[in-house]
């Protein structure tokens, strides 16, 4: 899967209004020599298209679980085996639930389940404040943290929906910096 010895980051992008900021994140990581493999959920594709990600990462983008990426191998298995880090930014409430429950109904959730045990997972949530503070979301966060998943953000501020409070995506330069630290490349 990887054509070089560069660290591989699988970047999952979900259906959040902040999805466009993952384009800069892709660029930041790629400029640091990271092999970035982007997976867009179906609803992420309502906010952003694969073109910018594929150009900046210089790799095809996974948009569908049933898409072939690497010959005969399902894309989600090839990506899960190659990944040194799974980074989801922005991570929606729905995807947090999927990951906490171990659901496997799309490419991103299948990658997450098929990761090698030593692969680090870094999630950068972004959502409406009430969605973030809802006990269901917080229970999913606690479940994931207990499994060793790391969270970065969300930060407080004025949200796109007009609410003020926690829910904004953490600044992408700081997400990239933490990803590099986890890879030992900082
Ligand atoms: C305009 C708009 C903005 C949204 N922004 C967010 C968001 O920032 N965070 C979030 O968790 N859900 C947000 N949603 C809802 C998600 O898109 C929805 O829950 C979706 O099913 C997430 O699917 P995914 O996790 O598979 O990408 C938004 C929906 C709309 C219509």
Q: What is the distance between the alpha carbons of residues 54 and 70, in angstroms, rounded to a whole number?
A: 15
* Element (DSSP H or E) covering residue 153: none
Nearest by Cα to 126 from 158, 168, 98? 168
Q: What is the per-residue pLDDT across 37-86, written as a single tens digit (0 to 9) for each?
A: 999 999 999 999 999 999 999 999 999 999 877 678 899 999 999 999 99
- Within 10 Å of residue 145's Cβ, how many Cβ atoms? 13
Separation of 176 CA from ligand 1 center, angstroms? 22
HSE-CB of 132 using CA atoms within 13 angstroms: 22
The list of the chain residues with pLDDT below 70 reads 1-3, 70, 185-186
The answer to whether residue 55 sits within a structural domain is: yes
Query: 92: Cβ below 6 Å to ligand 1?
Result: yes
Task: Name the residue of 42, 92, 160, 166 to mutate for ligand 1: max ligand atoms within 8 A of Cβ.
Answer: 92
Q: Model's pTM, two decimal places?
A: 0.96
pLDDT value at residue 80: 97
Domain that holds residue 47: 8-183
Looking from the CA of residue 93, the nearest atom of ligand 1 is: 11
Number of domains present in the structure of the chain: 1
pLDDT value at residue 162: 83
Active site (annotated) includes residue 161? yes
pLDDT value at residue 28: 98
Give Dmax (Cα) for the chain: 47
The answer to whether residue 48 sits within a structural domain is: yes
Q: What is the distance between the alpha carbons of residues 145 and 164, in angstroms, rounded to a whole number?
A: 25
The answer to whether residue 109 sits within a structural domain is: yes
The answer to whether residue 3 sits within a structural domain is: no
Separation of 41 CA from ligand 1 center, angstroms? 10
CB 22 within 8 A of CB 171: no
* CATH label of the domain that carries residue 81: 3.40.50.1950
């Amino acid at each position: 899967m990887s054509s070089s010895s560069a660290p591989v980051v699988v970047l999952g992008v979900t259906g959040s209004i902040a999805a466009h900021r993952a384009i800069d994140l892709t660029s930041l990581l790629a400029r640091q020599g990271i092999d970035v493999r982007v997976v867009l959920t179906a609803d992420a594709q309502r906010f952003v298209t694969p073109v910018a990600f594929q150009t900046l990462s210089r790799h095809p983008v996974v948009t569908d679980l049933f898409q072939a990426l690497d010959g005969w191998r399902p894309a989600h298995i090839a990506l899960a085996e190659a990944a040194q880090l799974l980074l989801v930014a922005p991570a929606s409430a729905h995807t947090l639930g999927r990951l906490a429950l171990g659901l496997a109904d799309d490419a991103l959730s299948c990658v997450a389940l098929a990761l090698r045990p030593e692969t680090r997972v870094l999630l950068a949530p972004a959502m409406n404040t009430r969605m973030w503070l809802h006990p269901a979301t917080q229970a999913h966060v606690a479940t994931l943290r207990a499994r060793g998943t790391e969270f970065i953000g969300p930060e407080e501020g004025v949200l796109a929906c007009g609410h003020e409070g926690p829910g904004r995506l953490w600044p992408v330069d700081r997400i990239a910096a933490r990803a590099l630290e986890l890879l030992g490349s900082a």
